[in-house]
Chains A and B, each alone.
Chain A
């Protein structure tokens, strides 16, 4: 079954570039610069209408990227989990005084509070969506190569590359340990036995990751490692880069117009 499915569509794998998006071909350096500009613009917004505009602009970008909707929702869930805590505080008069529009028991909901919470939610989602659309569609090695070309320190680029590579290995190690624990009847609850088991799991993950880090380092030394992780880069600005830059600058212009009423 898996082979049939695999033939029909490549597995969704943005990190290593198996997921190809119309934006995957764009210059990585340009995308990093554009996403930084777009995020700075959004974080400077105060008006709700402009924030709506920015959110719509980010939605246009994610549509262009053809990012799978299901995965997008899953990722936004994480962001909005934190937003939910904010909604528990900010709309109420004790944190944002103002015109009372509703009452929940002893708590008063203020118009200013709701506006502020909506503004923060829209801005956060707009930034995250644009990062997914622009950086999520950049394969890892392009991102690393682009960072290097933008003179981000060598050590940071190396750490970034290794971290992404070994998160997966550690995750698999974790799943393997969990399976082995479950095979011996482990069930997580708050009993002292289960907590001890969970602590042992974390402990052995730490020890194993340390061991693995040592082995990886030895393997790198064996191949003459001196502190530089090389990645292939071949960046040049293409017409589609100009198109992407124009789209984002036009969106930025519209959002700026809404904010500052030009």
Chain B
């Protein structure tokens, strides 16, 4: 399997006295559905933003889609092929209507208004929100906002989705809908989350960030595995 993301020897710190990563290695393969877990402050969001080039590392190499990325132009080229969903949907939705928000990415990719409109309709159908096209983004519920935010990422026809805490503060119905959208989209994805039962449903692979390093956890070795399994079965 080809690696979509290949990070080697990455170092990063917000505060030089307390480095977040020192020589971190991380690989994400094609077709993978990977859950990224770790304590608060372990650096999950930081790692995701480093991958997107939204913050810059102090040293190390980031390869995305087989190419080395270090300049803004190189990251921009990669970003257009990655759907990134932020933790707070309010950060992501800023256009007057849902339709405008979903069209924003495709238009930035240079598509025409008609092509973008077509993608908007297809995306809304995919996320099951056809009737929301002209609704004001700000007036949606938190669950609807999050699903639209995922839609804005999917509308860019990405090769890969990255989601930061997609289920925080959402009710079970919204989580179910997000899980369904993720399972239906047919893309590889990387999800940072604390919600293990959600991850068990959508992301069979697991990586744990601990002490600034990634540890891949095979299915059998997870201590919380049985507990979560019961919860999932119980809920269904």
Contact = CB atoms under 8 A, between A and B. Distances in A.
A232 B100 contact: yes
Given A219-B91, A232-B100, A232-B113, A13 B136 contact: yes
Contact of B139 (A13, A140, A218, A229): A13
B97 interface: yes
Given A219-B86, A232-B100, A224 B79 contact: yes
A16 B79 contact: no
B96 A144 contact: yes
- The B contact surface, by secondary structure, is helix
Q: Which of B91, B96, B139, B152 has the most CB of A within 10 A?
A: B96
Nearest to A222: B84
A224 B80 contact: yes
Contact of B138 (A168, A218, A231): A168
Interface in A190-209: none
B216 interface: no
B108 to A, nearest CB: 3
B176 to A, nearest CB: 22
A224 B99 contact: no
A169 B90 contact: yes
Given A223-B105, A230-B107, A212 B91 contact: yes
Contacts of A212: 90-91
B107 to A, nearest CB: 4
A121 B52 CA distance: 55
B95 interface: yes
A16 B99 CA distance: 13
B76 interface: yes
A220 interface: yes
B91 A215 contact: yes
Interface string A138-169: 01110010000000000000000110011011
Interface in A103-152: 139-141, 144
B79 A221 contact: yes
B197 interface: no
Given A218-B49, A222-B52, A224-B156, A161 B96 contact: yes
A24 to B, nearest CB: 13
Contact of B95 (A13, A215, A228, A231): A231
Interface in B146-166: 152-153, 156
B170 interface: no
A71 interface: no
A231 B94 CA distance: 11
A230 B92 CA distance: 15
A232 B99 contact: yes
Interface in A217-262: 218-226, 228-232
A222 B99 contact: no
A229 B95 contact: yes
A223 B136 contact: no
Contacts of A219: 84, 86, 91-92, 94
A216 interface: yes
B96 A165 contact: yes
Nearest to B137: A165
A169 B136 CA distance: 13
Contact of A141 (B80, B100, B105, B139): B100
Given A141-B97, A231-B95, 10 more contacts: A16-B97, A16-B139, A141-B96, A165-B94, A166-B94, A222-B82, A224-B79, A225-B108, A226-B108, A229-B104
A86 interface: no
Q: Which of A162, A219, A230 has the most CB of B within 10 A?
A: A219
Interface in B25-55: 49, 52, 54
A18 interface: yes
A17 B103 CA distance: 19
A236 to B, nearest CB: 15
B162 to A, nearest CB: 9
Contacts of B84: 219, 222-223
Contact of A18 (B88, B90, B136): B136
Contacts of B99: 232
Contact of A223 (B108, B113, B139): B108
A223 B104 contact: yes
B109 interface: yes
